[in-house]
Amino acid sequence: MPRYFCENCGFTDKLDKNLYFCPNCGDPLTITYSDDELEVNFSGSGVWRYSGVLPVDPNKKVSLKEGNTPLYKSLHLGSGVKGLYIKNEGMNPTGSFKDRGMTVAITRAIEKNFKSVICASTGNTSASLAIYAARAGIRGYVVVPDGAVALGKMAQARAAGAHIIKVRGNFDLALQMVKDFARKSDEAYLVNSVNPFRIEGQKTVAYEIVEEIGAPDWITIPVGNAGNITALWKGLNEMKRLGKIKYLPKLLGVQASGASPIVKAFNDSSNKIEPVVSPNTLATAIKIGNPASWRRALKAVRESRGAMIEVSDDHIVQAQYLLSSREGIFVEPASAASVAGFLSALQNGLIRKEDTVVSIVTGNGLKDPDSVSRFESIEITVGSEEGLLHSVIAQ
Ligand code: F0G
């Protein structure tokens, strides 16, 4: 049977309990499988295509058909490499990659008879939690930093009828609060990415990439609380164990300059992070100073022989505009960090021209409509005078 496993200290336990953190060292737990438990018979599409490698009962699934997101070949931004592919996770049911993990975590909540689920969130997790809790007919509680969540994400949580708890403070404080709650109470199931079932769902992005194009040389991914890079690396390793790929891609984890404690630890070859007390970036989804899964992220990039890099807010905005105006892919700022990271790594020679690269973009542009006010758009207002439109368009 799959088991809980602590990658830091080696603790293991059976899956029948509801654990999030290692009782010995406090790190978030992972779920492991022995070789004969990894099942290769994939059928159907999306996250549940991989139900043989998901530790929940697929007959109880709470699903809105997540996963199976498009992988686009870049037309312009990838001209400096052999191939750049963009995996658009913004095409998931609630517009972000969180749905891959949420469908599995909410299914687990139902299996365990929880009537409520809770998370701390910079926005996308709360949108996903709210919608999946609604689908499952259970109560959703979202704890968010007051005034620091993009409009579209709040709209989704409200529309789905979640209980919204606004914290006077940042995401790191909100996460601390829900962790403290989960330590003392079993009243609500915690579905942040410290929940190992979330990671299981999110690893399927790696399965999809590999099934479509095999192993690229690099995969770039934005990093906030560091759950998603943990999941990506887990999925890639499982695909290698299954014999679907011969080598593992290098990971490029990208943080925003104002919220980059893992980049600093990577550059300093350190084995611990110094949390950023007041993280700051316009990419609010990844405005996180004390990422819960930092240790697993560092381990993943080091094992892959990849890197952690940071990108400035200006570069994020530029990449966001280039993606929408040159590639037709409209993403939110945190997602654009992935592509800004690719461009920066190409420029400094880390990524080379013979490389094949996949950039994972994590959230839809509609999530954060205010962010486009930073672009210079071409807008005029006209009356109905005859010939006016013709003269404007001919210019
Ligand atoms: N991109 C987007 C659009 C996100 O919403 C997040 C995280 C990330 C990237 C980073 O992923 O945290 O697994 O490293 N959003 C979380 C939330 C924190 O609450 O919605 P990570």
The tens-digit pLDDT sequence of the chain (395 residues) is 999 999 999 999 999 999 999 999 999 999 999 999 998 899 999 999 999 999 999 999 999 999 999 999 999 999 999 999 999 999 999 999 999 999 999 999 999 999 999 999 999 999 999 999 999 999 999 999 999 999 999 999 999 999 999 999 999 999 999 999 999 999 999 999 999 999 999 999 999 999 999 999 999 999 999 999 999 999 999 999 999 999 999 999 999 999 999 999 999 999 999 999 999 999 999 999 999 999 999 999 999 999 999 999 999 999 999 999 999 999 999 999 999 999 999 999 999 999 999 999 999 999 999 999 989 887 878 777 777 778 778 65
The Cα–Cα gap between 334 and 351 comes to 21
Q: What is the CA(228)–ligand 1 centre distance, in A?
A: 8
Hey, what are 116's tokens?
């409520």
The Cα–Cα gap between 157 and 176 comes to 21
In short, whether 333's Cβ falls inside 6 Å of ligand 1 is: no
Q: In angstroms, how far is CA 289 from the centroid of its own chain?
A: 16
The Cα–Cα gap between 247 and 326 comes to 32
The type of residue at 390 is H
In short, whether 262's Cβ falls inside 6 Å of ligand 1 is: no
The type of residue at 335 is S
Measured between alpha carbons, how far is residue 259 from residues 44, 159, 194, 270, 280 in Å?
A: 39, 30, 19, 17, 6
Residue 21, SS3 per DSSP: strand
Taking the CA of residue 297 as reference, the ligand 1 atom at the shortest distance is 14
DSSP assignments along 61-86, one per residue: ---S------EEEPSSTTTTSSEEEE
Residues making up the chain, counted from first to last: 395
For the chain, give every domain's residue range: 71-92+198-374
Taking the CA of residue 367 as reference, the ligand 1 atom at the shortest distance is 3
What strand order describes the sheet that includes 71-73? 71-73, 83-88, 356-361, 218-222, 250-256, 307-311
| Pairing between β-strand 83-88 and β-strand 71-73 as defined by DSSP bridges | antiparallel
Q: 126, 137, 248: which is closest to 193 by C-alpha?
A: 126
Q: 364, 356, 92: which is closest to 210 by C-alpha?
A: 356
In short, whether 228's Cβ falls inside 6 Å of ligand 1 is: yes
In short, whether 121's Cβ falls inside 6 Å of ligand 1 is: yes
State the Cα torsion 12-14-16-22 to the nearest 10°. Answer: 0
In short, whether 334's Cβ falls inside 6 Å of ligand 1 is: yes
Report phi then psi at 17, rounded to 5: -80, 165
In short, whether 145's Cβ falls inside 6 Å of ligand 1 is: no
pLDDT of residue 395: 59
Taking the CA of residue 227 as reference, the ligand 1 atom at the shortest distance is 13
Q: Any bridge partners for residue 260, and if so which?
A: none
pLDDT of residue 37: 93
Report phi then psi at 309, rounded to 5: -135, 160
155: DSSP letter: H
Taking the CA of residue 222 as reference, the ligand 1 atom at the shortest distance is 9
| Pairing between β-strand 30-32 and β-strand 3-5 as defined by DSSP bridges | antiparallel
Taking the CA of residue 193 as reference, the ligand 1 atom at the shortest distance is 13
pLDDT of residue 376: 84
Which of 121, 122, 149, 219 has most ligand 1 atoms within 8 Å of its beta carbon, as the pocket-test mutant?
122
In short, whether 202's Cβ falls inside 6 Å of ligand 1 is: no
The Cα–Cα gap between 252 and 260 comes to 13
Report whether 368 contacts 150 (CB < 8 A): yes
What strand order describes the sheet that includes 30-32? 12-14, 3-5, 30-32
Q: What is the CA(355)–ligand 1 centre distance, in A?
A: 26
The Cα–Cα gap between 353 and 355 comes to 5
The Cα–Cα gap between 15 and 2 comes to 7
So what CATH class is 71-92+198-374?
A: alpha beta
How many C-beta atoms surround the C-beta of residue 240 within 10 A? 16
Region class of 186: left (phi > 0), else alpha (psi between -120 and 50), else beta? alpha
Q: Any bridge partners for residue 310, and if so which?
A: 255
- pTM for the model stands at 0.97
In short, whether 260's Cβ falls inside 6 Å of ligand 1 is: no
Query: In this structure, which residue's CA is closest to atom 19 in ligand 1?
Result: 121
Hey, what are 311's tokens?
């990108």
